[in-house]
Amino acid sequence: MADPVKDAERIPTVIADELHIVYRVNGAKSGKGSATAALSRILKRGEERGVRKVHAVRGVSFVAYRGEAIGLIGSNGSGKSTLLRAIAGLLPAEKGKVYTDGQPSLLGVNAALMNDLTGERNVILGGLAMGMSREQIKERYQEIVDFSGINEKGDFITLPMRTYSSGMAARLRFSIAAAKDHDVLMIDEALATGDRKFQKRSEERIRELRKEAGTVFLVSHNNKSIRDTCNRVLWLERGELRMDGPTDEVLKEYEKFTGK
Amino acid sequence: MSAPPSPDEGLTAAQLAAKHGLTVSGARPSLFEYVRQLWDRRHFILAFSRAKLTAQYSQAKLGQLWQVATPLLNAAVYFFIFGMLLGAREGIPSDIYVPFLVTGVFVFTFTQSSVLAGVRAISGNLGLVRALHFPRASLPLSFALQQLQQLLYSMIVLVVIMMAFGSFPDLSWLLVLPALTLQFVFNSGLALIFARMGSKTPDLAQLMPFLLRTWMYASGVMFSIPAMLADKNWPGWITDVLQWNPAAIYMDLVRFAMIDGYDSSFLPAHVWAFALGWAVLAGGVGFVYFWKAEERYGRG
């Protein structure tokens, strides 16, 4: 390991033990989509009535330690985001277990925000959804608005979010999400939002968050940002852990694999 | 594979986790702990319900005026069909039929929309459930709270109608408060129950409108149950049982509180006991039933 921390001091923060995640998809069973076919599936006894299973993560085990920044790589659909959600305790495991120190959190509040509300109310709603108190939000409100730069072009924060350009909305979402400190922080390709100026600002904020957080997970297809941020890399392929080790070693193999 | 060496080598994952005080991610908390977590999230629950309420009409030209206009139009339609075309008013003095009907529609809608919102509380917000951590009961409770706020707008309309038909505010109107509080607890319980069922079987969202409409017609929203059954030679307990239906109980209590001339002769026996009993039963069962599956919401 490139990790300078001595073995004796290594404190585990996340342990995944033979983790399996299965999605169940209604109404995607191959075969006829007609009403009679659906009815006969319902009438047929057994577990599989009209449900198709997608086995997204297959038996992944690893131990993450305090102070590590771990990159997750792999081709599209290899189970990276699913693994993150399982670590955060948001997706129930089919088999196996994830043990964590405290509550890991995903960086992102998109789902809690509402386009019909003003930016102002979304800052408050998003903060509350992430578990901040009203006082904390009040304290950081100005910081969030300034960071997003929404008000640089006029008083946009009091307008509904649906009136924002997609770049502005993305900036506000990132600013809200990045306002909270986390023990175990997970970032899912959140780096590439907004214009160049904002990207720089957000990369800086992520570095700050990393310093405060105990352990960081980063999902990205950008090998450069993995190399800049992470000291350890997990390579997932078809839901299985293909390689786990120091960044340089794994990335070398990965680049060979993808033919770069 | 280059698994890093460790002094904890040889321990199983579970032993290692126990040694360093790690806990299972996404495990279900104890019931007591769950209540505490929910209480911590009370501001989110309230903010979410108010945000949903505001977002509902934010694109309309008349804006939040629709909060009041929608229930008013609803009442007008029911009055036209049942009051004027079908003449369902038998047994009820005609000067109180309009307030009788409008109260019934508003109070029943409160329960009806809580159940419908409950069915979709989890299944319609999977994005939220899969992105952030919070006690999942926040969602159905938040939707029930949204309906309570919607009802408060309807009450503005109701007060105007009451006064237009000669029932003026007096002390008995205060009884509306305990009645609606109990109904809110009852609705929250139903919302929790249906949220869990709807998360497993989203098809319920298609089925529930029919069940709820049947329930509405059986509950005496637009007619009086005892007056309807008076000329049939059925034993008296049937009338009582029909009137003990929770929807009918809460409607009758609000009518009794607000309408002069809708006196206790229209109420079934033990009406307050049943109002309390339904609330405690639905609220308690709903909460425990929902909590039991806490760690499984969000599975796709």
Domains by residue range for chain A, with CATH: 7-106+218-258 (3.40.50.300)
pLDDT of residue B66: 84
CA-nearest of A91, A85, A86 to A108 is A85
Percent with pLDDT over 70 in chain A:
85
Question: How far is it, in rounded angstroms, from Cα B129 to Cα B110?
Answer: 25
Residue A44 is predicted with a pLDDT of 61
Q: Report DSSP state, residue B96.
A: G
Rounded to the nearest 5 degrees, what angle is found at the Cα of A233, between the Cα atoms of A230 and A234?
A: 145
Residue A37's pLDDT is what?
Answer: 65
Beta bridge partners of A26: A51
Angstroms from A195 CA to nearest CA on chain B: 25
CA B140 – CA B134 distance, rounded (Å): 12
Give the minimum alpha-carbon distance from A257 to chain B in angstroms, rounded to a whole number: 16
CA dihedral B269, B271, B277, B280 (to 10 degrees): 180
Q: Touching check for A23 and chain B: CB below 8 Å?
A: yes
Q: What CA–CA distances, in Å, run from A136 to A139, A260, B17, B25, B39?
A: 5, 46, 32, 26, 17
> What is the distance in angstroms between the Cα of A222 and the nearest Cα belonging to chain B?
22
pLDDT at A181: 76
Query: What's the pLDDT score for residue A31?
Result: 53
Residues of chain A in contact with residue B47, where contact means CB-CB under 8 angstroms, are 124-125, 128
Q: What is the pLDDT of residue B1?
A: 42
Q: Which amino acid is at B167?
A: S
**Pick among B22, B25, B57 to test the A interface (most A CBs inside 10 A):** B25
Nearest by CB: B25 against A87, A114, A121: A87
* Structure tokens that stand for B228 in this block: 């309807």
- Beta carbons within 8 Å of A255's beta carbon, 6+ residues apart: A223
Structure tokens that stand for A237 in this block: 């392929």
Q: What is this structure's pTM?
A: 0.84
Q: What is the pLDDT of residue A50?
A: 65
Distance CA A49, CA A43 (A): 8
Chain A residues within an 8 Å CB radius of B41? 128, 131
Report the run of H or E that residue A232 belongs to, with start and end.
strand A232-237
Write the pLDDT tens digit of every residue in B227-284: 777 777 777 777 788 888 999 999 999 999 998 888 888 888 888 999 999 999 999 9
Rounded to whole angstroms, the Cα distance separating B63 from B80 reads 26
Determine contact: A7 vs chain B, CB below 8 A: yes
* Residue A139 CB neighbours (<10 A): 12
- Distance, CA of A252 to CA of B71 (rounded, Å): 65
Whole-angstrom distance between the N-terminal and C-terminal Cα of chain B?
Answer: 31
Task: Give the residues across from A23 on adjacent strands.
Answer: A54
Whether residues B48 and A125 touch (CB distance < 8 A) is answered with yes
Those residues of chain A that have pLDDT short of 70 are: 1-9, 27-50, 189-194, 260
pLDDT, position A32: 55
CB-CB contact of A223 with A251 (8 Å): yes
A contacts of B128 (beta carbons < 8 Å)? 111-112, 129
Are the C-beta atoms of residues B157 and B68 closer than 8 Å to each other? Answer: yes
pLDDT at A137: 92
Distances (CA, A) of A183 to A209, A243, B205: 10, 25, 39
Mutation target for B interface from A110, A128, A133: give the one with most B CBs within 10 A: A128
pLDDT at B88: 63
d(CA B162, CA B168): 7
The low-confidence residues of chain B, meaning pLDDT below 50, are: 1-3
Is the minimum CB–CB distance between B207 and chain A shorter than 8 Å? no
Looking at beta carbons, which residues of chain B come within 8 Å of A104? 25
Say which DSSP state A160 is in.
B
Touching check for A85 and chain B: CB below 8 Å? yes
* Token pair belonging to B176: 């509306």
Q: CA–CA separation, A23 vs A104, rounded Å?
A: 21
